[in-house]
Amino acid sequence: MQDTSYELLTIFRDGGFMMIPLVLCSLVALGVILAKGWTLLVAHVDSQKLLKNIEELGTTGRLDEAMQTARETRGPVAAILVSGLTRVKDQQTGKDIEKAISTTGNIELDFLERGMNVLATIANVAPMLGFLGTVIGMIAAFAAIEAAGQVEPTLVASGIKVALITTASGLAIAIPVNIFYNWFVSRIDTLIMDMEKGAQAVLDLIWNAEARKRAGA
C-alpha cells in the first residue's frame, strides 16, 4: 500500500508560493500567543495574591508594608496600587488619587491589549490567504485544461491540490488563533475587574485612614 502521508516540507512545497505568507502568519501568531499567554497568566495569579495581601494590610493601617508588597509584584493591579498608595502616603486629595489611578489604569489597559490586534488580523487574513491560494490553484487547473484541450485528472490534480492545501492551511491557522484570542479577551476582562478591585482597595484605605483619624479625634 502506497504511503500517502505528507511531511510538512512536502505540504509546504505542494501548496505553492501562497504557503509563504501563511507560514509567516503562523509564526507571528505563535510568538504573540506565547508572549501574551505568559504575561496574562502571571499577571492574574500575582494580582489575586496581591489583592488579598493588600486587604489584610489595609485593615490594620500598615500602609508602608502594603506599598512595598505592591512594588514587589508584577502586573497592572500592582501598578494601580503603587500609584494610589504613593499619593495616599503623600496625603494628596481624593480627587488627585482617583485621577492618578484612572491614568495608570488606562496605561495598563493599553499594555494588556497590546498584540491583540495582531491576532485579530491574522485570524481574519489567514483564511483569506488560503482562499486566494484556492483561486490560484483553480486558475492553474483550468489553464492546464485549456492548454491540453481535454479534461484529464492528471492535468487538474496539481491545481486542485494547491487549492485544498492552502485552504486547509489558512483554516488551520485561523481556528486556534481565534480560540486563543477569545481566551485572552476573557483573561483581560478578568484583569480589568482585578484592576477595579485594586482601585477600590486604595479608596478603602483612604476611608479607613479618615475613619481612624475621626475616631482618634
Residue 215: per-residue pLDDT: 62
- Amino acid at the residue 28: V
Q: Which has the higher per-residue pLDDT, 125 or 85? A: 125
Tallying the residues shown for the chain, one arrives at 217
d(CA 163, CA 136): 7
Contact 44, 187 (CB under 8 A): yes
Distances in whole angstroms, Cα of residue 124 to Cα of each of 2, 174, 176: 37, 7, 12
Q: Which has the higher per-residue pLDDT, 68 or 153? A: 68
pLDDT at 31 over 90: yes
d(CA 20, CA 140): 18
Query: pLDDT for 119-148, tens place per residue?
Result: 999 999 999 998 888 888 777 777 776 676
For the chain, the average pLDDT equals: 77
Residue 1: per-residue pLDDT: 42
- Amino acid at the residue 6: Y
Query: pLDDT for 167-208, tens place per residue?
Result: 888 999 999 999 999 999 998 888 888 777 777 777 776 666
Binned at pLDDT 50, 70 and 90, residue 2 comes out as very low
CA max distance for the chain: 102
Calculate mean pLDDT across residues 23-47: 86
For residue 209, the SS3 value is: helix
Q: Determine how many CB atoms are found less than 10 A away from the CB of residue 174.
A: 22
Residue 122: per-residue pLDDT: 94
Q: Which has the higher per-residue pLDDT, 211 or 14? A: 14
Percentage of the chain surpassing pLDDT 70?
72
Calculate mean pLDDT across residues 96-103: 77
pLDDT at 41 over 90: no
